[in-house]
Amino acid sequence: MTRHLDIAPRPETPAPQPLITVDRAIAELRRGGLVLVRDSGAAVLMLAAEAVADETLARLASASGGTPVLLLTGRRAGVLGLTEAESGVYRISGKTGFDTKTIAFLADPCARSLGIPDLSGLDVEPAAGLGPAAVSLAKLSRLLPAAVIAATGLPPADVIAVEAADIAAYQTTAARSLRQVSEARVPLENAENARIVAFRPSDGGIEHLAIVIGDPDPDQPVLTRLHSECFTGDLLGSLRCDCGDQLRGAIAEIAQAGSGVLLYLAQEGRGIGLVNKLRAYQLQDEGFDTLDANLQLGFDDDERVYLPAAQMLRLLGIGGVRLLTNNPGKVEALARHGIQVAERVPHVFPSNDHNRGYLATKASRGGHLF
């Protein structure tokens, strides 16, 4: 007798306080506010470099009583020629601090229209202590991976404080808190017998979705596709990538096979977010390939995490999959998170004049198998 997937909504449980605090800090950074990052008695006030304005930079300097410094990833500092490193976080300081124009130029490769500021006299050194946590928080905010910080003693009373350890654990904690919150039958163009199941982390963050097609048997490896959301490809039919083809093709292939699951994961642009993906597109138009564009922005070539996918599969009662993918990294990631991958099922679509170079880069540099 075939066992059915468990797609019943679960009652939501209260979010752990660290999740709530990090979520509030993210919102504060996105609107240009100050956040206090602390650990073991040390503390820094930070602004997201992308959101810096004259008044917020002045507030940071006044509240801290010190001279603000800029934090960049090793990736970004490397492309600027400030270091030969390709990892870690670097502290960039000037004798008189920075103005907003200089911060924008250093943090954002798309801000060159502002002109080249005077960069003489910069000091560059690896950032220890709270620097990496501040940059990680900017990344979680889907902003550029750069921050402006200043050491502080007694912070303003109205500033949100967040622990460095909670920032480091945020993605893991959020993924493990995922719960099924709703499900409904949604007939699709190529899969009329389909249901969509929504999963939400307990801090109320962005939902991930599972498209369940047919009646998969969780006692057997389930044909599964992990699909990262792509607004431009999935919804608009962008020709710059193959995402739309992969999404619709996977739904059709799963339906033709009789059953399976497509996980629609909220990790646009290989985890950097839609706004940063559009910045990467601008850089690609200037001659950078899809991976180097991410590096120019200061990100790793792929910032995605797959613990949410593994957690969703477990909540559905699925322990083994036949994975529709050309990316061996997804196979390794699911296995690392306790999901058995019985088979990698190739998932290839024809290229076009706009995405041929993109696909070639994925094959030659990203290890994808076409």
Q: Each residue of 131-164: pLDDT tens digit?
A: 999 999 999 999 999 999 998 877 778 899 999 9
Give the bridge partners for 343, in sequence order: 322
45 and 138 in one domain? yes
Instruction: Tell me, yes or no, whether 341 lies in a domain.
Output: yes
Nearest to 291 by CA among 211, 202, 359, 213: 359
Residue where a domain terminates, one of 137, 171, 205: 171
pLDDT digits (tens, 9 = 90+) for 44-57: 999 999 999 999 99
Q: Which of 176, 301, 302, 314 is catalytic?
A: 302
- The domain tally of the chain equals 2
- Clarify whether 31 is annotated catalytic: no
Q: Is the pLDDT of residue 348 over 90?
A: no
Q: Is the pLDDT of residue 319 over 60?
A: yes
pLDDT score for 76: 95
245 and 167 in one domain? no
Range of the domain at 80: 17-171
Give the bridge partners for 72, in sequence order: 90, 146
Residue where a domain terminates, one of 150, 171, 192: 171
230 and 349 in one domain? yes
Instruction: Tell me, yes or no, whether 344 lies in a domain.
Output: yes
102 and 60 in one domain? yes
Tell me how far apart the alpha carbons of residues 74 and 76 are, in angstroms, rounded to a whole number: 5
pLDDT score for 220: 95
336 and 210 in one domain? yes
Lowest-pLDDT choice from 112-121, 133-142, 193-202, 329-338: 112-121
pLDDT band for position 340 (50/70/90)? very high
- Clarify whether 225 is annotated catalytic: no
159 and 26 in one domain? yes
97 and 231 in one domain? no
Tell me how far apart the alpha carbons of residues 110 and 148 are, in angstroms, rounded to a whole number: 18
Q: Which of 195, 240, 279, 304 is catalytic?
A: 304
Residue bearing the bigger pLDDT, 10 or 310: 310
Q: Is the pLDDT of residue 75 over 60?
A: yes
